[in-house]
Structure 1
Amino acid sequence: MDDSEDERYRAPALDKGLDILELLAGVDGGLTQAEIAKKLDRSPNEFYRMLDRLVRRGYVTRLDGDRYSLTLKLFGLAQLHAPVRRLVSYATPVMRELAETSQQANQLVVFDRGSAVVIAQQEAPNYWGISIRVGSHISLFDTGSGHVLLAFRSQEERQMMISEHVRSTDKAAQPAEFFARLDQVRDRGYEMMASLQTAGVYNLSTPVLGPDGRAIAALTIPYITLVNAANAPDITLTIQLLQGAATRLSRLAGSDVPQSS
């Protein structure tokens, strides 16, 4: 398409909105309306309505009253497209093998528009196991998957994810100790916590990392003690099996994490 054709099919309002999104994507800490206008060499009044619509649609958020920053909505939309389908297709045989070796159910969880969402689930091979329905929305604050999705993100991304979660669930923001817990999870490489939803269950969760080292998903086992199962792995060995499976998925996703032992 030549320049004349390009001009013929211009959509000025759409161009303006995309200019804002592309600008904010490359800025940490957000920009004021005046700063946006200056960087795009336009009048501040031109952007008022567009910024208002982007905020109302959830693509942009206001920080401290007068600064605008991207939310993770675009990230969430991308998660629902082909990359997630590919991730599920890669994950299915790995998750099936993990269920067989651990004798436990497992699930794959991603962040999407304020919630942790189960995108794949593998049942335990034997009679007993804890299953969570694909499509279920679970909490970022009181689940192993939620902790891992937050822990393996930057501080700014954590805050945006939490802000979206609070808005979508009406849950209260978390105290400082919660962020210390996330740092511990990151240092340890996995989360292990008693389930706050089901007695006798331990959430074991570890990240699936992308090429940039950030969590694109959490692989989680809701671990239950199998009393009568022969040769069932204990919780320590189960964590090792879980980490090995997550490492395989991370490498399939393009991460250069070393192979787990």
Structure 2
Amino acid sequence: MEKKYWVPALEKANDVLLAISEQPSGLKQIDLSKRLGINKSSMFSLLNTMEALDWVVREADGTYSLGSKLGYIGNAFFKQFSLIDRFRKEASVTKHLIQETIQLAKLEHHEVLYLAKEEMPSPVRLASEPGKKLPAHATALGKAMLAWLEPDQVRALFAEDTLSPCLTPHTLQSREELLRQLGEVREAGYAFDLQEAVMGFCCVAAPVRGSEGEVVAAISCSMFQHEWEQKRELATAEICALAKRLSHG
């Protein structure tokens, strides 16, 4: 890996955590210094900082074990794969009920990051491959997640009054109009994208919640605009039901 922008302190902290993970409650500060070749003052600073961050815990006998914050981060890491696995299983049924492709995504700042999709055969392939990003204000997925943020948080994500990029003539262009729509999304529990991301396509999305009720992702169903009026109620009901099944709590 290119080390032009490498941060040595982070590398040392990583080495310390790996050593502690191999021998929890088995190594003192002096042991870690000797094993890793890090001088005592640097090791003291590293351990002191990591203890304050709950990355490590100093036991009564002076040895170290891993802290609760690492357990939280590790749990979150595995949860994301659990959610994708559950999505694939549940959405594979729902897509046949709606006869449309279903997407799973999470919010990354002011963008939507696609995580997975269950696709129905179609002459047009949706540009929602896992790893792709789209502006959150232009998608039902984005609005379904943004709606649960505080207005000040939304304003911080969208610093300008005029939203960009504008993907179609129907894309929201005003931050205040976005905030107004997000209020409607909170009341309804789902969001629409009416040709706002791609001309000719409409979409409905609903939030997926974690164990404490927080929004962790969203799912959506996209379809041709000419099918929207016919399928809108069915798609909305099924997407909301799927989101509830995928949610914890």
Calculate the TM-score normalised by the size of structure 1.
0.60
Letter in 2 for 1:121: K
2:145 is the counterpart of 1:149: yes
Contact 2:101 2:118 in 1 (8 A): yes
What is the match of residue 28 of structure 2? Answer: 6
Contact 2:112 2:134 in 1 (8 A): yes
Q: 1:95-146: CA deviations, max 9, x gaps?
A: 1111100001010001236532111011115656635211101111211111
What is the match of residue 96 of structure 2? Answer: 100
Letter in 1 for 2:29: E
Query: Within 2, Cα distance between the matches of 1:78 and 1:179?
Result: 34
What is the match of residue 129 of structure 2? Answer: 133
3-state SS of the aligned residue for 2:49?
helix
Query: Within 1, Cα distance between the matches of 2:24 and 2:206?
Result: 50
Count of aligned residue pairs for this structure pair: 190
2:195 is the counterpart of 1:195: yes
The range that moved more, 107-116 or 133-142, is 107-116
- Runs of 5+ unmatched residues, structure 2: 1-22, 33-42, 55-69, 167-172
Letter in 2 for 1:7: Q
Q: 2:238 aligns with which of 237, 241, 245?
A: 241
What is the match of residue 120 of structure 1? Answer: 116
Query: Within 2, Cα distance between the matches of 1:113 and 1:234?
Result: 31
Contact 2:191 2:205 in 1 (8 A): yes
What is the match of residue 63 of structure 1? Answer: none
2:49 is the counterpart of 1:16: yes
Q: 1:21-50: CA deviations, max 9, x gaps?
A: 67xxxxxxxxxxxxxxxxxxxxxxxxxxxx
The range that moved more, 172-181 or 234-243, is 172-181
Contact 1:153 1:215 in 2 (8 A): no
Superposition deviation, residue 195 in structure 1: 2.5
Contact 2:151 2:179 in 1 (8 A): no
3-state SS of the aligned residue for 2:137?
coil
Runs of 4 or more consecutive aligned structure 1 residues displaced over 6 Å after TM superposition? 1-4, 77-80, 170-173
Letter in 2 for 1:187: E
Calculate the TM-score normalised by the size of structure 2.
0.63
Query: Structure 1 residues 190 and 242 mapped into 2: Cα distance closer, same or farther (>3 Å)?
Result: same
3-state SS of the aligned residue for 1:100?
helix
3-state SS of the aligned residue for 1:241?
helix
Query: Within 1, Cα distance between the matches of 2:174 and 2:51?
Result: 33
3-state SS of the aligned residue for 2:138?
coil
Query: Within 1, Cα distance between the matches of 2:206 and 2:108?
Result: 18
Query: Structure 1 residues 141 and 236 mapped into 2: Cα distance closer, same or farther (>3 Å)?
Result: same
Letter in 2 for 1:120: A
Contact 1:116 1:140 in 2 (8 A): yes
2:105 is the counterpart of 1:109: yes
| Percentage of pairs with the same residue | 17
Contact 1:204 1:223 in 2 (8 A): no
Query: Within 2, Cα distance between the matches of 1:141 and 1:97?
Result: 29
- Runs of 5+ unmatched residues, structure 1: 23-73, 256-261
Provide the alpha-carbon RMSD of the alignment. 3.7
Query: Within 2, Cα distance between the matches of 1:124 and 1:184?
Result: 30
Query: Within 1, Cα distance between the matches of 2:113 and 2:197?
Result: 16
Query: Within 1, Cα distance between the matches of 2:114 and 2:44?
Result: 37
